[in-house]
């Protein structure tokens, strides 16, 4: 089964056993999490269920593997001719999850 879930303002296409990084959610490693299902389909795409906005009775269960921070990106601001330069860094928080089941 393939499902489209919504978390962190983004949508992800997931299937069983898949590991992915999503925006940080509350929980520790080993915790179980359920997600809202927007669209549900079988492998061939024949039995498609579309939610309005959610598919009733469908859920995606996942397990939190790790909480972490992504690599640092540099944010640089520069204005020519006025000697204005700013350098800042940012590390985005993420949660790595493993999809346990799609029902």
**44 has pLDDT over 90:** no
**22 has pLDDT over 90:** yes
State how far the alpha carbon of 94 is from the alpha carbons of 24, 41, 91, in Å.
4, 27, 9
- Predicted structure pTM score: 0.84
pLDDT, average across residues 84-95: 98
The predicted pLDDT at position 34 comes to 96
Separation of alpha carbons 21 and 64, rounded Å: 10
Terminal Cα distance for the chain, rounded: 8
**17 has pLDDT over 90:** yes
Which two tokens mark 39?
A: 């669209």
pLDDT, average across residues 21-26: 97
């Amino acid at each position: 089964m393939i499902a489209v879930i919504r978390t962190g303002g983004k949508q992800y296409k997931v299937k069983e056993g898949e590991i992915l990084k999503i925006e940080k959610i509350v929980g520790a490693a080993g915790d179980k999490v359920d997600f809202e299902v927007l669209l549900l389909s079988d492998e061939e795409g024949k039995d498609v269920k579309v939610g309005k906005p959610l598919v009733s009775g469908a859920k995606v269960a996942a397990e939190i593997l790790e909480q972490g921070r992504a690599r640092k990106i540099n944010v640089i601001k520069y204005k020519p001719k006025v000697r204005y330069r700013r350098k800042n860094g940012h590390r985005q928080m993420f949660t790595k999850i493993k999809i346990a089941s799609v029902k």
